[in-house]
Amino acid sequence: MESKGNIKPSSLPAERSGLKIGSIWYVLTEVVYLVVLVSLGNYYARPPWHLLILLLPLVFLWKRRESIKSLGLVRGRGISFPRSFRESLTSEGFYKGATLGMVILIVLLIFSRTSRGVPLLEVFTPPGLETLVRAVVLAPVCEEMFFRGYYQPKCESRFGRKPGLFLTASLFAIIHIPNMLPQYFARPLTIEGLLIIFILGLLFGAVRDETGSVYYPIVFHALWNYVL
């Protein structure tokens, strides 16, 4: 039987209630996103969705009189790595190797962009202020605080560590499906891109579990969006 982590049995009903509320809120905010996307276009759709999805964890904490630190806004245990190649092939090694995996993916993204003719200097050139705020600040903070800070711990307490990680990563990928619509996006998301987002969700979640902090996923998420 998989461990429930630091969650006490007496708190499990509250955690399950929080999971149910989070799942309903996830669906509702996605509907709002689609409505705004179809009505007003891509430019106006993402910021309201990000702010809406962040609202639930903050309200939930306020009603339970909990500190915002319970969303993972703590220093945590720091980054760790597998001690050997053999350990990296184990389940625990995946969690320890998630940070290295994230770094490798970012390097591959840089290589992919430069191989398509994008100058290396342009890859690291800051985007416009509006894009910087939306993609590099708002998106990583709001998405990680909801998915890795609020939803994943509750999901793992209900279903176990691995299923909870997989389910959270799946939902994280699903919210990006509207980005595949070419009529609303200059660079619509592809099936391969959706798979990469799922893998990113697994890595973000593994880093969150291993470090005990949501700061690391936020930083990696911001770096990914910046280079992208």
Q: For residue range 57-68, what is the model confidence (pLDDT) as tens digits?
A: 888 888 888 888
Q: Is residue 4 part of a domain?
A: no
Alpha-carbon distances of 132 from 136, 137, 228, rounded to whole Å: 5, 7, 12
Q: Is residue 1 part of a domain?
A: no
Q: Is residue 22 part of a domain?
A: yes
Q: Is residue 145 part of a domain?
A: yes
Instruction: Outline where 145-184 has alpha helix (H).
Output: 152-159, 161-174
- Domain holding 143, by residue range, is 9-227
Q: How many structural domains does the chain have?
A: 1
User: What is the rounded CA–CA span in Å between residue 95 and residue 126?
Assistant: 31
Alpha-carbon distances of 68 from 62, 64, 150, 222, rounded to whole Å: 9, 11, 10, 21
Residue keyed to tokens 């936020």:
218
User: What is the rounded CA–CA span in Å between residue 216 and residue 98?
Assistant: 11
Q: Is residue 2 part of a domain?
A: no
Residue keyed to tokens 């998405």:
143
Single pTM value for the model: 0.89
Q: Is residue 44 part of a domain?
A: yes
Most confident of 17-21, 60-64, 101-105, 219-223: 219-223
Q: Is residue 32 part of a domain?
A: yes
Q: Is residue 54 part of a domain?
A: yes
